[in-house]
């Protein structure tokens, strides 16, 4: 599972203004001790985290029913009437028509957590990005850094995988939502380096949740496709709250071949594989009457908003939050009732 680092929002400015010493993807792997900069300082010059104000961070904090991104954003787009791609059957056969759906969520360590923060929460400079050339150092015009709470260093469940400080394996997404400024900060391969006393990450992206701005063409994000992660997660508050789920869901498949809109980044050129950004849609004639109301709500979203192929991983895995309230004894068998053959591919790049 590989991605870089995006910045999908209207404040996008040349990366040179964000990171004076950012390096290209091709040369970065060997530059772990290059000249110091806000995004890739050496271990000896990396700024230590500051805590000038008390943290207001909350794990799985209340988003108060607010929609992530505008209603006409690709995540929130009603695709129930979109045309079927002419290669739909070919892609479904590539996945495996009998392959069953799986909910990639649950109590820790399953799923991806998110953290809500406030305007006053201090930003922490990321000491090193593996892919600095496509990573966001911070919000333009604001103090550099990400509003990472101190507890994420020593307590579990703040980072995907549930390991304090992130650990050293897995995707290790860390997702932070500034509920006051309506900004989304996302890191992947996040890790606290206790020896150097700073945070590191594979890549980082910051999104203005009021904007439809897309990542620069060819840029990744905390997800391989260059998309935001949080808007595609199945969240407990949506499933068991009032109203419908009003967005597409994040999907992984085993490999990819290029990308199509709304994705901005490729993570593989495997012949026969579908492109990142491809949308699956649950067929309108699939009978959902036998499912519980919460499960039916998830599946109805798959009919109206679909699934967006956002990262390489397990086939037909639908990503949700890490939340102790999930009951996988209910969700796992329900999802297994749906097969790849119950889905169709929406016309590639449709908008």
Per-residue pLDDT at 52: 56
Both structure tokens of 115: 């953290």
Q: Are 37 and 19 in contact (CB under 8 A)?
A: yes
d(CA 5, CA 39): 12
What is the structure's pLDDT at 53? 67
pLDDT exceeds 90 at position 218: yes
Give per-residue pLDDT as tens, 170-217: 999 999 999 999 999 999 999 999 999 999 999 999 999 999 999 999
Tokens 């010493």 correspond to 21
> When comparing pLDDT for 54 and 198, which is higher?
198
Q: For the chain, what percent of residues have pLDDT higher than 70?
A: 85
Q: What are φ and ψ of residue 160, in 5° steps?
A: -50, 135
pLDDT digits (tens, 9 = 90+) for 84-124: 999 999 999 999 999 999 999 999 999 999 999 999 999 99
77 pLDDT higher than 90: yes
Phi, psi of 280 (to 5 degrees): -100, 150
Non-local (6+) Cβ contacts of 300 within 8 A are: 244, 245, 288
Model pLDDT, residue 334: 98
Helix axes 328-336, 293-304, angle to 10 degrees: 50
pTM of the complete model: 0.86
- Decide: 113 and 321 in contact? Cβ < 8 Å: yes
Helices (H), 81-234: 88-95, 151-154
How would residue 143 be classed by pLDDT, with cut points 50, 70 and 90?
A: confident
Coarse DSSP helix, strand, coil percentages of the chain, rounded to the nearest 5 percent: 15, 20, 60
Q: How far, in Å, CA of 182 to CA of 117, rounded?
A: 10
What percentage of the chain exceeds 90 in pLDDT?
Answer: 83
Tens of pLDDT, residue by residue over 291-322, are 999 999 999 999 999 999 999 999 999 999 99
The whole-chain average pLDDT of the chain stands at: 88
Expressed in angstroms, the distance from the first to the final Cα of the chain is 26
293 phi, psi to nearest 5 deg: -60, -45
Q: Give, as one character, the DSSP assignment of residue 182.
A: T
């Amino acid at each position: 599972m590989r991605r870089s680092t995006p910045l999908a929002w209207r404040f996008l400015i040349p990366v040179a203004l964000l990171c004076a010493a950012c390096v290209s993807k091709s040369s970065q792997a060997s530059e772990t001790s290059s000249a110091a900069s806000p995004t890739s300082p050496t271990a000896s010059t990396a700024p230590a985290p500051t805590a000038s104000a008390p943290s207001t961070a909350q794990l799985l904090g209340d988003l108060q029913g607010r929609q992530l991104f505008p209603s006409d954003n690709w995540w929130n787009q009603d695709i129930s009437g979109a045309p079927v791609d002419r290669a739909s059957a070919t892609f479904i056969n590539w996945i495996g028509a009998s392959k069953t759906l799986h909910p990639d969520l649950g109590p820790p360590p399953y799923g991806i957590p998110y953290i809500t923060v406030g305007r006053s929460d201090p930003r922490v400079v990321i000491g090193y990005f593996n892919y600095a050339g496509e990573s966001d150092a911070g919000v333009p015009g604001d103090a550099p850094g990400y509003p990472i709470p101190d507890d994420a260093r020593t307590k579990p469940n703040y980072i995907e995988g549930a390991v304090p400080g992130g650990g050293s394996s897995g995707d290790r997404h860390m997702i932070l939502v500034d509920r006051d400024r309506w900004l989304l900060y996302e890191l992947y391969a996040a890790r606290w380096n206790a020896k150097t006393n700073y945070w590191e990450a594979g890549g980082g992206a910051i999104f203005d949740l009021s904007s439809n701005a897309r990542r620069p063409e060819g840029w990744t994000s905390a997800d391989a496709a260059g998309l935001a992660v949080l808007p595609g997660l199945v969240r407990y508050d949506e499933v068991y709250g009032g109203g419908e789920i009003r967005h597409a869901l994040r999907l992984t498949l085993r490999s990819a071949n290029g990308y199509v809109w709304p994705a901005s980044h490729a993570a593989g050129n495997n012949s026969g594989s579908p492109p990142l950004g491809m949308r699956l849609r649950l067929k309108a004639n699939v009978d959902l009457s036998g499912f519980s109301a919460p499960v039916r709500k998830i599946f109805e979203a798959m009919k109206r908003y679909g699934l967006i192929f956002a990262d390489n991983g397990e086939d037909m895995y639908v990503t949700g939050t890490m939340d102790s309230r999930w009951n996988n004894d209910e969700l796992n068998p329900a999802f297994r009732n749906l097969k790849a053959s119950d889905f169709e591919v929406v016309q590639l790049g449709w908008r």
